[in-house]
Amino acid sequence: MTETLELLGSAAFWGAVLRIATPLILGTLGVLLCERAGVLNLGIEGIMVAGAFVGWLVVFQGADLWTGVLAAAAAGALLGLLHAGLTVGLALSQHVSGLGITLLATALASYAYRVSFPKVDSPPTITPFAPMTWLPVPVLNTQTALTLLALVLVPLVAWVLYRTPLGLAIRMVGENPAAAEGQGLSVAGLRTGAIVAGSALMGVAGAFLTLSAFNAFFFTMVNGRGWVCVALVVFASWRPGKALAGALLFAFFDALQLRLQQAGGGVFGVELPYQLYLAVPYLMALVALVLVARRAAYPQALMKPYRKGER
């Protein structure tokens, strides 16, 4: 029990929580933007894989780290544009299109990796972002610039959505696209822009894994984080501030199970199978989702295709 309490009071532990939460924050903001405009984007898992690969490959080829981040965002935006073309332009099923994007992006990343490195047994490495040791805050000075970017984006996205005409327009096309069209707004243009911007954030979320958390690319590194982001948006009731809280909560349980496994002392002295430790973050996410989902005020036009002129 004493060891567990000491762990919870450790700056290193909370630094790990913030590090684990970073790709979830970026990915959740991306999903939130898409869904606020009325479009479900289940392509996030594949977009994160593509972002992780493209960002890493660009840096491996000699570009600087921020160029890698921009390349990952561009890859995500391109896949988002494809998703928008299928779901907004052609009004196809958002579920099917999103899953198709995930399969396509993952397959393309796998193919590009095999072509680029046909005779490599272990992934080549790069020099990732360095921690911001110059910051005076103990938890933040172990993080990289991408974590700081993720934290800054939370209030920025909230400000855009709730304090600007653009944000009002995005929320309007997600709630009542017919009314938005009646006000002279382009539903297709706003939804496409939100999907592209959201998908770019998903690409950056993937790039964090290869350019900051690790220094190489491997195919299982995203490991379901995209699906967690989709659940976190519901938990957050489509609000950026709550999305940050949800990402930190999931990361807390993930970091806790890792530390408890390493300590080997169990929870308050009780030994548990390691499989249970691995399941804890996801079990807690399900519990939180069940408790919150009933009260969640989802965008009324979410997953509903819209054709110009329809009423």
Predicted local distance difference test score (pLDDT) of residue 223? 87
Predicted local distance difference test score (pLDDT) of residue 293? 66
Predicted local distance difference test score (pLDDT) of residue 119? 81
* Angstrom distance (rounded) from CA 180 to CA 183: 5
Output the CA angle 41-44-49, nearest 5 degrees.
155
Q: Name the CATH topology of 2-132+139-293.
A: ABC transporter involved in vitamin B12 uptake, BtuC (1.10.3470)
DSSP 222-240: STTHHHHHHHHHHHTTT-H
CA torsion sign, 94 to 99 to 114 to 199?
positive
Beta bridge partners of 267: 270
* Angstrom distance (rounded) from CA 297 to CA 274: 37
Query: What are the structural domain ranges in the chain?
Result: 2-132+139-293
* Angstrom distance (rounded) from CA 50 to CA 58: 12
* 176 CB-side CA count, 13 A: 6
Predicted local distance difference test score (pLDDT) of residue 188? 95
Predicted local distance difference test score (pLDDT) of residue 122? 82
Positions in the chain whose pLDDT score sits under 50: 268
**Helical H runs in 85-224?**
94-116, 145-163, 165-175, 177-182, 187-208
* Angstrom distance (rounded) from CA 27 to CA 24: 5
| pLDDT tens digits, one per residue of 151-199 | 999 999 999 999 999 999 999 999 999 999 989 999 999 999 999 999 9
- Look at residues 146, 141, 125, 131 and name the one whose alpha carbon lies nearest to residue 66: 146
- Look at residues 49, 22, 11, 46 and name the one whose alpha carbon lies nearest to residue 212: 22
Show the tokens assigned to 289: 């989702």
Q: In whole angstroms, how far apart are CA 52 and each of 78, 118, 226?
A: 14, 19, 12
- Look at residues 169, 162, 157, 174 and name the one whose alpha carbon lies nearest to residue 244: 157
